[in-house]
Amino acid sequence: MAYDPDNIFAKILRGEIPCVKVYEDAKTLAFMDVMPQASGHTLVIPKEAAENILDLSAEGLVAMMATTQKIAKAVKKGLAPDGMVLTQFNGPAAGQTVFHVHFHIIPRTDGAPLAPHGRSMVDAASLEPIAAKIRSAL
């Protein structure tokens, strides 16, 4: 499958769709997932157009991983979860639903179940206080 420049993350990068930003630099963007599996679920994407990790340049991969680690540390500091899941899907059979490479940072609390992946949307305004806690920990 060829990269689709009209995917939702490409539209977010172009400013056509709003997001609750957590962090941005020249090569990456981190923002709150509007379909969170847990409170604090954050996404990290490269600004490079790549469908999956196999299509991403080595430079883009380094930038995305550095930002993923930076945001994961801020999630840990700002939200104090019991644990954290870092997930990245490649292809429909693996569960990828947005075809722009991305990492999920999902805080975990002991005993709390995860919501199903990509099933229910929350109001973006409810994500801002959580994003503020993560930003303050950067």
Task: Report, as residue numbers or ranges, the catalytic residues.
Answer: 102
Which whole-number Å values give the CA distances from 13 to 9, 10, 83, in the listed order? 6, 5, 29
- Strands of the sheet containing 103-108, edge to edge, are 21-24, 28-32, 42-46, 103-108, 83-87
Contact 23, 70 (CB under 8 A): yes
Radius of gyration of the chain (CA): 14
